Amino acid sequence: MADNNSNLPEEENELYEHYSFTADKGQEPLRVDKYLMNFIENATRNKIQQAAKDGSVFVNGSPVKSNYKVKGGDEVKVLFQHPPYEFLLTPEDIPLDIVFEDDHLLVVNKPAGMVVHPGHGNYSGTLINALVHHFENLPKNSNDRPGLVHRIDKDTSGLLVVAKTEETMTHLAKQFFDKTSEREYVAIAWGDLKEDEGTIDGHIGRHPKNRLQMTVFPEGEHGKEAITHYKVIERLGYVTLVSCRLETGRTHQIRAHMKHIGHTLFNDERYGGEKILKGTTFTKYKQFVENCFKVLPRQALHAKTLGFEHPVTGEQMRFDSEIPDDMQQCIGRWRHYAKHLK
């Protein structure tokens, strides 16, 4: 996926290119609105259809309607009159839950529902919008994102470290690359894991058919190396509370790895966890699970612990955060339910 925005338009009526894709040679004919939904995160079919209606969806240089069928080799572009998010880093006075701060870095506890950086459909209200309001001259990472050393998904809560200086950015990025940082997550996974602990070692890359999903390539033929160490915290009948420690940091790593071993995260809609994957077929059980979904309307994943060496002082820093209330409530309900299964 390309986000081509290297040049600002010289005229006001010139369009900005937001997305550009070239369909694979083996692409079966597929409506362009469906095709784009597989590539653009947080896009809805209605939004794409409206963009096509407005003349913003182009194939091979010409605007097309949403029912155009994309074929192998087609160049599909989405163009808008407003610039991509890199030019829209508007400072916004959004409160930050700062766990630690000094002249070199800060550690933030991100709530579920907050997007880390602006992107399609999320041009405001992000962590970056908050950071550029509260802090001046944050260094940019290789993707031009101010302060960001790593990221967590929109609906994952928990700890992030933010760099205030170039030196800190470089030092922390190397720690993450060298796998010397500590990152532990707590998750609720579907099913009763056979082993009390274990390691999932499988390359992760984009799913060949659904580009919004990551998938595991156990033979290592695609993707990048990914290693997750897991440990059972508590068995709760048809779900399990698990600690996941990251050795690598791939996109959706825990979500993809846990699905790969047959234990999709609870209410993880993108990976099928919003379905009732384990348990009985009784109406009361279905109602119980649906009530749990309402209490926790997101994937059950929290970045609980973060550790690293301070880039300047050399001190070993380690931060821990409380499991948020929505997850706590869900765990409590499963804990009560599991008592009646014994």
CATH code, domain carrying 53:
3.10.290.10
Burial bucket for residue 24 (CB in 10 Å: 0-12, 13-18, 19+): exposed
Let me know if residue 104 belongs to a domain: yes
| C-beta atoms surrounding 2 within 10 Å | 11
Indicate the pTM of the whole model: 0.79
Pairing of strands 157-163, 301-309: parallel
Verify that 164 and 37 share a domain, yes or no: no
What domain count does the chain have? 3
Judge if 121 and 207 occupy the same domain: no
Return per-residue pLDDT of the chain as tens, 342 residues: 333 333 322 333 456 678 889 999 889 999 999 999 888 877 788 889 988 998 889 999 888 999 999 999 999 999 876 666 555 678 999 999 999 999 999 999 999 999 998 765 566 889 999 999 999 999 988 777 899 999 999 999 999 999 999 999 999 999 999 999 999 999 999 999 999 999 999 999 988 877 678 999 999 889 999 999 999 999 999 999 999 999 999 999 999 999 999 999 999 999 999 999 999 889 999 999 999 999 999 999 999 999 999 999 999 999 999 999 999 999 999 999 999 886
Distance CA 80, CA 84 (A): 8
* pLDDT computed for residue 42 by the predictor: 73
Please report the pLDDT score of residue 9 as a whole number: 29
Per-residue pLDDT, 242 = 98
Residue 120 sits in the same domain as residue 264: no
Q: Does residue 144 have an active-site annotation? A: no
Set 153, 155, 268, 326: catalytic member: 153
pLDDT tens sequence across 262-296: 999 999 999 999 999 999 889 999 999 999 999 99
Of 178, 176, 191, 187, nearest to 153 (Cα)? 187
**107 and 156 in a common domain:** yes
Among 177, 202, 224, identify where a domain stops: 177
Asked if 63 and 97 sit in the same domain, the reply is no
| Same domain as 192, residue 63 | no
Q: What pLDDT score was predicted for residue 79?
A: 83
Q: Is residue 190 part of a domain?
A: yes
Segments forming the whole domain that contains residue 101: 86-177
Place of tokens 């009732």: 276
147-178 per-residue burial string, b: 16 or more CB within 10 A, e: under 16: bbbbbbbbbbbbbbbbbbbeebbebbbebbee
Give the separation between CA 292 and CA 122, rounded to whole angstroms. 27
